[in-house]
Amino acid sequence: MKSRMGSRIKELRKRVGLTQSELAKKLGISSSAVGMYEQGRREPDSRIILRLSEIFNVSVDHLMGNSDKSSEGSVEVSEVFDEFTRKLSSQEGLMFDGVPLNDNDRMKIIDAIKVVAAIAKQQHKSTLGEN
């Protein structure tokens, strides 16, 4: 049975765009250990939990599944993008310059947001020296 922390690790890993192998390398552990964490078959020790919270920029409580907020009073930009794209996909009657948006227009906007988010993420990683 998957643990809340395992599910959260997997969710956060995917959100930041890392594979299990890439995350394992950052943690100094095997990719199979990451897989076991995500499946709830193994629990990370306190050192790994702290490192995961640093890598994902979330509180330990959030990582452990005890809190829905990443950290007190803060929201990840990716969460805002995700919410906006969900709303954009489902909102009825959206218009752009007085013209109703069709599904193709919505997808173009969503794709543009994803491109901008990816560029911003890469620039942020470069700034932090995590190429």
Element (H, E) at 48: helix 46-56
The tokens of 21 are what? 């192998």
pLDDT confidence tier of residue 84, bands split at 50, 70 and 90: confident
Total-model pTM: 0.53
pLDDT-derived band at 48 (thresholds 50, 70, 90) equals very high
Three-state DSSP at 125 gives: helix
Homologous superfamily (CATH) for 4-63: lambda repressor-like DNA-binding domains (1.10.260.40)
Torsional sign, CA 38, 43, 48, 54: positive
Domain boundaries, the chain: 4-63, 77-128
1 — pLDDT class (breaks 50, 70, 90): very low
For residue 72, what pLDDT is reported?
A: 46
The residue among 34, 1, 32 whose CA lies nearest residue 18 is: 34
pLDDT (0 to 100) of residue 75: 63
In the predicted model, what is the mean pLDDT of residues 68-82? 62
